[in-house]
Amino acid sequence: MNRTRRVSASRRLPAWIGAMALVLAACSSATTTPLPTAVSTAGPASGAPASAGASAAAAGAAANAVTIKNFAFNAASLSVKVGQTVIWTNADTTPHTVTADDGSFDSGHVAVGSTFQQTFTKAGTFAYHCNIHPSMKGTITVDA
């Protein structure tokens, strides 16, 4: 008995009405959802402090930054103190490497837009070059 009613009802209703009802249901649930979602954003938001801390750390080391551009290290010569980190940013249009002449560090290929960082724990003068373009040379002087 119920079956007969349902069948006849579904036959009378055009398919688009059912679709419409689904859309409306989706919409109404969608409008309700954002609030809980916004609240649950507190989850990702708790991740924000972490990234903020990371960027703060990056900012602290930003003073010791070398930009790679136009097939050159800029600045080619940089002085830092023991324990400090140098960050190379590849702002060029092709990959490069930051490779110590003495092999003490090697970035491997640094893709365009990527960075490489190296912390210097010993005083001294460290010459480096790009493995792909040997004419690219730089020096990091580490003061005690």
What does the binding site for Cu ion look like in residue numbers (CB under 5 A)?
96, 130, 132-133, 136
Residue 84 or 107: which CB sits closer to Cu ion? Answer: 107
Which residue, 65 or 133, has its beta carbon nearer to Cu ion? 133
Nearest distance, CB of residue 95 and Cu ion, angstroms: 7
CA dist., res. 51 & res. 60, Å (int): 14
Cβ distance to Cu ion smaller for residue 84 or 97 = 97
Sheet holding 124-129, edge to edge: 77-81, 137-143, 124-129, 99-100
Residue closer to Cu ion by CB (options 84, 99) is 99
Torsion sign (Cα): 100, 103, 105, 110: positive
Residue 101 φ then ψ, to 5°: -60, -35
Could you give the count of Cα atoms lying within 13 Å of 44 in the half-sphere of its Cβ? 5
Whole-number minimum distance, CB 101 to Cu ion, in Å?
15
CA-wise closest residue to 86 among 32, 12, 140: 140
Shortest distance, CB of residue 84 to Cu ion, whole angstroms?
Answer: 24
**What minimum distance in Å lies between the beta carbon of 68 and Cu ion?**
7
Question: Beta-carbon neighbour count of residue 91 at 10 Å?
Answer: 13
